[in-house]
Amino acid sequence: MSKIISGFSKLSKFEKIDWLVNTYFTNSDAAKTLIKQYWNSNEKLQQLHDEFIENTITNYYLPFGIAPNFLINNKIYTIPMAIEESSVVAAASKAAKFWYDRGGFKAEVISTEKIGQVHFMYFGDTKRLTAFFTYLKPMLYKKAKPITKNMEQRGGGILDIELRDKTQDIEGYFQLHATFETLDAMGANFINSCLEQFAKTLKDEAQGFELFSSEEKDIQVVMSILSNYVPDCLVRVEVSCAVKDLTENSDIPAREFAEKFLQAVAIAEVEPFRAVTHNKGIMNGIDAVVLATGNDFRAVEAGVHAYASKTGQYRSLTHAKIEDDIFSFWMEIPLALGTVGGLTKLHPLVKLALELLGEPSAKELMQIVAVAGLAQNFAALRSLTTTGIQEGHMKMHLMNILNQFEATAAEKNKLTEYFKSNIVTHRAVVEELEKLRQ
């Protein structure tokens, strides 16, 4: 059967599934059964999930776990995490407990500005365009008033609008570069609505501007869109303690551990190949909380990695130092998050996650998410510079291997006990499982 289909989106959900399984799967009955196994038995809840995106056929589950004992600004949190990777939740929890006994995490939101741009082409006299923008700027605010009124009443809105000349990069390329405050909303829809109104006002007002020639009045708007790079929507998180209190492992002197930890961070600050994996570990913690709270982890990822490259080279997001026998480990990252809008009032588990966190404001959520990232990085670096990353990770991965080979409950119990004192590798697990079954 041909794999090209017209009008797929107009088919019912059941028709979509029938076409899919009959076209792509040798055992269509088994495929259909698998698809239906992940449906929610609550029809209303399933319909809600079906309507989040287009062409839905089933749900894709991720584990939803929690990491307790996070002390942030002297307040205790239990943090929700949605992620599939073994050892992430365990590592975050272990780091949380370690720092709980040493004063906890300190977090501060530095700024909350978000950015949007109208990209347009103009090939006339730049001085006349500058004069036009002076006339245009108050009009941009005025025409966007129906969109910004409610946001302004809550204390947010448009912060500033600039004309930026980008003609050194592309001939004729200019921007309206706008900054926004969106409070507890991530603000994508608000910002994009404002930008599209800016674009309309720009084109309309250019037609009547007396200083423009007829050609100059024909400004071409290329696109109007928010930016997920938010270098002025920043949160700083930090932990610190006396060097002598830095290790729980009596086999590793605290000073030696501290200095080795600093070296590991320094390597990630100068070596991009290491920095990418280093920062990926940070994002293990960040993405898991962002996803659990219904925020856009792709936007967060893109913005954070751009920030890591702001010097022209990709570098570590975290930093460490020792001064006066005090160890400090910190990070500043951009995070544009929301606690209203989007899925926050729709997805039942998102609502539960936010309630678990005490219904945080967007600023508070920025702090919590950043702390999860710092905790994850601390846990990873502690393992890397002491026992190695695989010992703990593979023990957490043991259950995945056992499930892959459909181990029984009794086999799992015996092998879990066995590998408490033996090195976990895929081959070793398979060999021990085969011994049991013989």
User: What angle do the packed helices 272-292 and 254-270 form, to 10 degrees?
Assistant: 100
d(CA 396, CA 87): 6
d(CA 264, CA 382): 10
**85 a catalytic residue:** yes
**113 a catalytic residue:** no
Report CA-CA distances (Å) from 384 to 67, 273, 330, 374: 21, 16, 18, 15
H-helix segments, 84-162: 88-100, 126-143, 145-153
The one catalytic residue in 50, 85, 218, 271 is: 85
The one catalytic residue in 181, 196, 287, 296 is: 296
- Length reported for the chain: 438
Structure tokens at 208: 């009547």
Name the DSSP class of 53: S
**393 a catalytic residue:** yes
The one catalytic residue in 363, 393, 395, 397 is: 393
Spatial contact of 62 and 82, defined as CB atoms under 8 Å apart: yes
- Which residue's structure tokens are 């951009």? 334
**432 a catalytic residue:** no
d(CA 267, CA 284): 20
The one catalytic residue in 137, 280, 412, 414 is: 280
Closest CA to 415 of 90, 430, 404: 430
Spatial contact of 126 and 132, defined as CB atoms under 8 Å apart: no
Angle at 54 between CA 52 and CA 56, to 5 degrees: 85
Structure tokens at 111: 């700024």
Report CA-CA distances (Å) from 390 to 383, 410, 417: 9, 25, 18
Closest CA to 326 of 246, 380, 263, 385: 246
Residues known to be catalytic:
85, 280, 296, 393
